[in-house]
Each structure stands twice: as structure tokens, then as C-alpha cells.
Amino acid sequence: MRITTISAVSGSSSVRGFKEAMSSQLTGHGHYLKNFDLTQMELKSCNGCWGCWVKTPGECLIRDDMGQVLKGIIKSDLTLFVAKPVLGYVNGTMKMAMDRTIPLVHPYIKLVQKECHHRKRYVKYPYFGVILEDSGDLDQEDRDIIEHLFQRYALNFKSELKMFRDTSDTVMEVVNEINNI
């Protein structure tokens, strides 16, 4: 399986070590991994111009490193967001990258599950997964909120959130779950 990981965590974060150990094991299991560390990339915020929908369909007008990430997402079977939550949600850098994924969908609207959602631009989208750093300050409600927001995010791609884990799980448990997707 082709797996893309997207992380926006500093060097001292425990989820970073978790991701490295997981990546190594997943490679050993025959998966092909592509990792994007947003902290090492040039990434600007979406300015809501919608050029990616109405000027250069499918491509953002901002020329920075996000194009590589979009390619990595769309070519993957599973895209994993690796995040250290700040005040109960992914940090601003990760959210900026998530905003910049709108070129992957079309501006036209379709009814999906009786709701309006964007039409697909690509035939196939990856499944999504989330691995959070468990630093002890997230309660069950925080987790439910984050999971729900990612489920909604996945629905906009007509995909699914297949995995929602944190670093209190073992690397082996996470790798086994990915192997079963």
C-alpha cells in the first residue's frame, strides 16, 4: 500500500519518534511510504482566492511546497495526519495544509448523504488516518471532536477516516491496524 504521512510537529515531540518507528515497521511490511514534514517546508496559507477552482482548475496559484504534498496525497492509498494537538485540535500549520487541499476537489456541488459536498476531481481518493500525540491533556470529548472533524474532512473527499489513534497505543497496534486496511 502507498502511504503518505503529513506531520507538523517539532523535533522533541513524542509523536515524531512514534511516526519514525511506525514508518520503519511499515516499510518492513512492504508498504511504500512518503513522508512530508511541514515544519521543513515552505507553506503559505490559503487566501480564499479560489484560483484553484476557477483559474487553474486543480492547481493552487500559490507556488510553494504544497504541490508536492497534494501529489503525495492523491497518489496514496492511505494518508496519515500525524499531529500534536494544541488547545484541542491540530495546530495551525497542519490546518493550513489541510485548507490547501481544496484543489483536490471540484467547486461543483453534489448531494452526498443528503448533504451538499464538493464533486470529486479525481476518480480515487485515499483513505485517511490520524495519529495524535497523547500528552495527557486531551479528554474524551476533545478526541471525539477531533475525530468528528476528520470524519467530516474525509467525507468531503468521498472517502473515510479509517484510523484514529494516539501515542498511548503501541506502534505494533497501529501497524497491525494499517496492515488490515
The binding site for other proteins (CB under 8 A) comprises 45-48, 50, 53-59, 70-71, 74-75, 86-93, 95-99, 101-102, 104, 106-111, 114-117, 121-122, 141-142, 145, 148-149, 152-153, 156
The Cα–Cα gap between 109 and 119 comes to 5
Shortest distance, CB of residue 155 to other proteins, whole angstroms?
Answer: 8
The Cα–Cα gap between 33 and 22 comes to 10
- R_g over Cα of the chain: 16
Shortest distance, CB of residue 149 to other proteins, whole angstroms?
Answer: 5
Question: 53-59: long-range contacts at Cβ-Cβ below 8 A with a sequence spacing of 24 or more?
Answer: 53/102, 53/103, 53/106, 53/107, 54/107, 57/106, 57/121, 58/103, 58/104, 58/121, 59/103
Shorter beta-carbon distance to other proteins: residue 26 or 161: 161
Shorter beta-carbon distance to other proteins: residue 88 or 173: 88
Shorter beta-carbon distance to other proteins: residue 24 or 92: 92
Shorter beta-carbon distance to other proteins: residue 29 or 55: 55
